Amino acid sequence: DEALLIASAGKTGAVVSAENHSILNGLGGAVAECLSENRPVPLRRVGVRDHFGEVGLTEFLKEKYGLTAKDIAAAAKSAVAAKKG
C-alpha cells in the first residue's frame, strides 16, 4: 500500500523493513523504490543479505542472518538516528 507507506514515512521520518528472506528484490527493495520516488527518509532493511538459504533451527538461522528482535530494534535505532532535524 504505497499511500500508507508514504504517509507513515512522512509521520515517522524513518522506515525499517524486516523480512524472513533475501533483501534483494523483496519487500525492502519495493519499499526503497517507493520511498526514493515519493518520500525519501532513512530506510534500514533487515533480512538475509545476498546469501543462499540453508536449513537449520529457526532461532539459529535468525541469529546467523541478523533477523532477531534485537537486530530489528538496532535497525530502527539506526534509522531514527539518521533522521534530519
Residues 48-82: pLDDT tens digits? 988 887 899 999 999 999 999 999 999 999 999 99
pLDDT score recorded for residue 54: 85
Spell out the domain ranges in the chain.
2-81
φ/ψ of residue 52, rounded to 5: -65, 145
| Topology given in CATH for the domain delimited by 2-81 | Rossmann fold (3.40.50)
Q: Is 66 helix (H, G, I), strand (E, B) or coil?
A: coil
Whether the CB-CB separation of 79 and 9 falls below 8 Å is answered with no
pTM of this prediction? 0.86
- What are the angstrom distances between the C-alpha of 77 and each of 4, 42, 43, 74? 22, 11, 11, 5
| Residue keyed to cell 531514527 | 80
Residues 7-41: pLDDT tens digits? 999 999 999 999 988 888 899 999 999 999 999 99
Q: What's the gap between Cα 60 and its chain centre?
A: 20
